[in-house]
Structure formats: structure tokens, C-alpha cells
Amino acid sequence: TTEELSISWEAIKRQERKEKAEQADVKMHILDDIGSNMPAVMRAEKLQLRAASVGFDWEDSEPVMAKIEEELLELKTELYGSAQAERLSEEMGDLLFSCINLARHIKVEPELALRQANRKFEQRFRFIEEQLSEQGLALQDASLEQMEAYWQAAKNKDI
């Protein structure tokens, strides 16, 4: 399977990294050669896959869901507590990282899923814009309640 192939590939690469480190007489860590300049979603996936290749992974998605709930609670605590920008950013990052981990567990490509969500948001927001325009209203002149009502209408139309 693709998963078995990935595990086998990771084992080969792990051995190559070990040999390279021995030749250079340096200590290599398992995550060292994952590029830091790649897009964050891709890097998160690679970090998680590498860790999973040595057994640092949950067997199913249930504990991942619990981790997401834990991270969301930590974010809420920061948001409604001190709300320091650095802590908020850290907790938001933890939540996103956990969501990417869930995507990996349920075999959903997170980049593709996010692109689809972006596209759906754009379509629904355009629908709001069009509906308001038909009423002679600009977005800036509409209330949040009006926009939310059209958002729900777009959802009901499966836009």
C-alpha cells in the first residue's frame, strides 16, 4: 500500500541519515533534515510523518480529536485571560498543528482541504455580495445579521 511504501521509504532514509551522520562524525536528530523553508502545512505533515515513522503517533483519530479539544481549550484560556499576542500565536499554532495531524490520520490532504474551504468561502461571500447588491446595499452598509442570513441561505443552497 501507499502507507507501507511510505514507511519503507522512511526506514531507508533513516538509515541513510544515520550513515551520513556517522561519516561526518556528528549527531543527527530524526527531524534535522526536514527543510525549514517549506510551507508550514507541508512541513507540519513531514514532521508528523517522520515522528510517526519511529512510533510517535496515535493509532487512530480519537486521541487526535481529544488533543484538538485540549488545544482549543488552551487557546480559549489565553484569549479570555491574558491575551498576550505571543501566547495566542503559540496556542493557535498548536491548534493548527493538531488539525493537520487529524487530517493525516483521516487521510485528508490538509492543503487541498483548506483550498476547498477557501473556495467555498469565496463563493458564499460572493453570494452575500450579490444578494445585498440586488437590494441596493453595499457590503459596508449591511449589518452582520443581514450578511449572516445570506450566508445561511448560501449554505442551504449548497453553495
Give 119: exposed, middle or buried? Use CB within 10 Å, 0-12, 13-18, 19+: exposed
Residue 105 is predicted with a pLDDT of 97
Work out the pLDDT band at 2, boundaries 50, 70, 90: confident
Cα Dmax for the chain: 72
Residue 61 is predicted with a pLDDT of 96
Nearest C-alpha neighbor of 14 from the set 30, 34, 35, 36 = 30
pTM, rounded to two decimals: 0.81
Estimate to the nearest angstrom the gap between the alpha carbon of 18 and the chain centroid: 30
The tens digit of pLDDT for each residue in 103-159 reads: 999 999 999 999 999 999 999 999 999 999 999 999 999 999 999 999 999 999 999
Mean pLDDT of the residues in the chain: 92
Give φ, ψ of 25 to 5 degrees. Answer: 55, 45
**For 83-108, what is the mean pLDDT?**
95
SS3 of 58, please?
Answer: coil
Work out the pLDDT band at 33, boundaries 50, 70, 90: confident
Residue 29 is predicted with a pLDDT of 83
Neighbours of 80 (CB within 10 A): 8
User: Contact, 132 vs 146, CB < 8 A?
Assistant: yes
Work out the pLDDT band at 54, boundaries 50, 70, 90: confident
Residue 86 is predicted with a pLDDT of 93
Give 42: exposed, middle or buried? Use CB within 10 Å, 0-12, 13-18, 19+: middle
Rounded Cα distance between 107 and 99, Å, is 12
Residue 110 is predicted with a pLDDT of 96
Continuous segment of H or E residues that includes residue 114: helix 110-134
Residue 19 is predicted with a pLDDT of 78
- Most confident range, picked from 6-20, 48-62, 69-83, 92-106: 92-106
